[in-house]
A and B are shown apart, each in its own frame.
Chain A
């Protein structure tokens, strides 16, 4: 079965403004193989996949499907050519049934404008049987578990007669036994001649499932290997690469006293039990997979999620934030993950955004003093070096990096002491990233404490004084800057996932 190439992507190159996202990458997959695509965040995996599924257009290179050169213009076009992608968010219509979700948009196959639910269901059943799974076909998919919804998405691609199936982090939200079932299904698909391109951060899964592995790093191909020819540590090294440290200039700052102390805090949901100490002048890095509770930690500290147990002490006094205003009052600042959606008022100008959290204090009797406000706004904008045509420029028109600087700058006028940064460099180009690091260094030099959450381990290594690893709502490891290496951290992150097999996810033991 595995002798014919189903897909060839040759010398694929893709530019984004200021960034070379893919640099002449070659990728190919045989009929009936599981081909894993690995790499760190920003390595170019998702760009490559988005080109294949018609969301992005490549700048150069060629794509061959079944030996023929094709141009993929849109997601629909991709599907017509036999490429189906299952995104993390699955893209189903929640209140339609599994049957309907499998059929909608392609009822033309039935050659009758009046749909017969019986016929549709019979067809759906046939597909389900082919997958050898059991799935309730007649209830809205929103009542199904994530795993079942995923089955629906897979079944749809099968009904569409997909020859190449791309799965983006399919196990991110699944429990251990569900992952096993998913693997069975994938193996069954492969045995029927389907090609599966499998993107995952979890090396254990990859070694279990894949036939071949392709490693990307910084938009370049690191190599494609048969699974039996490589070992996990080798892969990690390839993903990490060399000379990471050069990108960060860690400034050493005198540490002060304890600024924030968390004792066993939980939010009754994803955050189970987190204890940590943040000192003045310290950058505390937090890493962990999506869903590990790191964002929930920030939300709890900022008062958007209620802390249900445990205690918080801020500057020696009890701290119980019930809403963001409480946290802001006590000098806590949030730089949210979704910069545009949660951090900025896009139609306001730079200065107005910067002064907004502080506007009450700047305005005696509730009346704005616009000239003074603008002066302060401009001062802060220059302090963090925002590149703008003037402080009257609307933030909508700034680049991602400069927007992020505005988000940070908002809190400078407020003299905040604790900064919570959730993925502050996501979607920002390399140059601007360095400036954000510089900005963070300046914050701690001014005596603030920073909690820095990131998916990019090298960046945390470069900037943090201590690094916490989170998983399933708990802190599972702590490293000091001096002892931390990327391999050590990655090993903890990945080891955690290996344990999942034996543990029940809900009751994992904590290892330190």
Chain B
């Protein structure tokens, strides 16, 4: 009996050896291709564009990327258990509107931040409750909730931009610097570290991954997928709300009719991140890598002189190619 096991075991190994070489190469590209791409792009830019490797440019690049980064990290949380949130752009707007309006009414900085946080938590709960307990695909649910929130922003402001009474302490969150580092960047780093700890170092995170991997099995192991997904929706919306604060703090106004253009980019970032994990699941380090790539790409394209509006096309093409290549490789491996 034991003999039989060893033979089947060996046979498995022997079959593996022939294709092992190519498998290693494939795996390498699959996992580290994105990182290599980042390095290559950075190097090319560094050598061809003198203005790229300056402290000033790097600082502004990171500051520009911070908002996108926070949104993308939030999005990573809903993506881990296999959900989707496209209402984030609307939440960014709404939280900015509420936060600024608190200051317009002279309730102070904390009221402003509390209002933003409340927006995040409430919208996240609604998204989660509707899509999980209402059995509606989270894409449809959040798409619709997003439209509703847009309406709320417009209704609340009457369509006018808000800028009165914004406190300097609030603006500091957007344009301030702390030991020579832009505050948004510090916030991004903090968010990234917290997100990493939560997703990869806690029981909550482990269970989220388990749900994303196999919901049925997770249930049979006593995990409550609905509760965990709900929490991930709330985390996501809260991140968007934080982004809303930073956006308004940077520009100094809250504009209810400006649709937040980063949502598509945030998706692209998370997708790019998934390509760096062996099984194609979203994860925080991958997302951070994606943020860097997007940041370098946008910045580089601007420096090189790619028209602003053409940049999106390039990003779209890059995302599509990455997604296609990585999923083909993954399919082949199975």
Contact = CB atoms under 8 A, between A and B. Distances in A.
A279 B7 CA distance: 39
Contact of B221 (A347, A356, A367, A368): A356
A366 B204 contact: yes
Nearest to B207: A359
Nearest to A345: B213
Interface in A298-345: 302, 304, 323-325, 327-329, 334, 336, 341-345
Interface in A376-420: 387, 394, 396, 399, 410
B1 A336 contact: no
Contact of B7 (A18, A344, A366, A370): A18
A291 interface: no
B177 interface: no
Interface string B5-47: 1011101100000000000000000000000000000000000
Interface in A221-246: none
Contacts of B207: 359
A325 B224 contact: yes
A368 B210 contact: no
Nearest to B206: A359
Nearest to B334: A396
Contacts of B279: 346-347, 394, 396
Contact of B206 (A325, A334, A356): A356
Interface in B180-222: 201-207, 209-210, 213-214, 216-222
Contacts of A399: 8-9, 12
A18 B4 contact: yes
Interface string B146-163: 000000000000000000
A17 B8 contact: yes
B2 interface: yes
A330 to B, nearest CB: 11
B8 A342 contact: no
B202 A341 contact: no
B8 A429 contact: yes
A13 B133 CA distance: 51
Interface residues of B, number: 32
Contact of B8 (A346, A357, A431): A431
B281 interface: yes
Contacts of A273: none
A387 B9 contact: yes
A100 interface: no
B4 A430 contact: yes
Q: Interface on chain B toward A: helix, strand, loop, or mixed SS?
A: helix
B206 A394 contact: no
A341 B214 contact: yes
Contacts of B1: 430-431, 434
Given A343-B217, A352-B206, A357 B4 contact: no
A366 B8 CA distance: 41
A367 B205 CA distance: 10
Contact of B11 (A17, A368, A387): A17
A357 B218 CA distance: 9
Contacts, number: 96
B7 to A, nearest CB: 7
A321 to B, nearest CB: 11
A102 B82 CA distance: 38
B106 interface: no
A359 B203 contact: yes
A91 interface: no
A304 B206 CA distance: 23
Interface residues on A, range: 35 or more
A327 B210 CA distance: 19
Given A347-B281, A363-B202, A304 B220 contact: yes
Contacts of B223: 325
B5 A357 contact: no
A366 B199 CA distance: 11
A215 to B, nearest CB: 25
Contacts of B209: 345, 348
B210 A345 contact: yes
A391 to B, nearest CB: 15
B220 A334 contact: yes
Interface string B77-111: 00000000000000000000000000000000000
A432 interface: yes
A25 to B, nearest CB: 21
Nearest to A18: B8
A360 interface: yes
Contacts of A334: 220
Nearest to A432: B5
A354 B218 CA distance: 12
A48 B79 CA distance: 43
Contacts of B205: 368
Given A324-B221, A334-B220, A356-B221, A348 B213 contact: yes
B220 A366 contact: no
Nearest to A396: B279
B319 to A, nearest CB: 22
A345 B217 contact: yes
Nearest to B214: A345
Given A324-B220, A343-B217, A367 B202 contact: yes
A353 B165 CA distance: 54
Contacts of A429: 4, 8
Nearest to A334: B220
Nearest to B200: A368
A295 to B, nearest CB: 13
Given A341-B214, A344-B214, A347-B281, A431 B220 contact: no
A349 to B, nearest CB: 10
B217 A357 contact: no
Contacts of B221: 324, 328, 356-357, 410
Interface string B241-269: 00000000000000000000000000000
Contacts of A302: 220
A176 to B, nearest CB: 34
Contact of A366 (B4, B12, B202, B218): B202
A399 B281 CA distance: 23
Contacts of A360: 203
Nearest to A341: B216
Nearest to A16: B8
A366 B206 CA distance: 10
A342 B203 contact: no
B213 A18 contact: no
Nearest to A407: B217
Contacts of B7: 18
B253 to A, nearest CB: 40
Contacts of B206: 352, 356, 359, 368
Instruction: Pick the 9 closest A-B CB pairs, nearest first.
Output: A18-B8, A347-B279, A325-B222, A345-B213, A431-B5, A328-B222, A431-B4, A357-B221, A342-B216
24 contacts: A18-B4, A18-B5, A325-B224, A328-B222, A341-B217, A342-B214, A342-B220, A343-B217, A344-B214, A345-B209, A345-B217, A345-B218, A347-B213, A348-B213, A352-B206, A359-B206, A366-B202, A367-B202, A368-B206, A394-B278, A399-B9, A429-B8, A431-B5, A435-B5
Given A329-B222, A356-B210, A399-B9, 11 more contacts: A325-B223, A341-B214, A345-B213, A346-B213, A347-B281, A367-B202, A368-B202, A370-B201, A410-B221, A431-B1, A431-B4
Interface of B: 1-2, 4-5, 7-9, 11-12, 201-207, 209-210, 213-214, 216-224, 278-279, 281
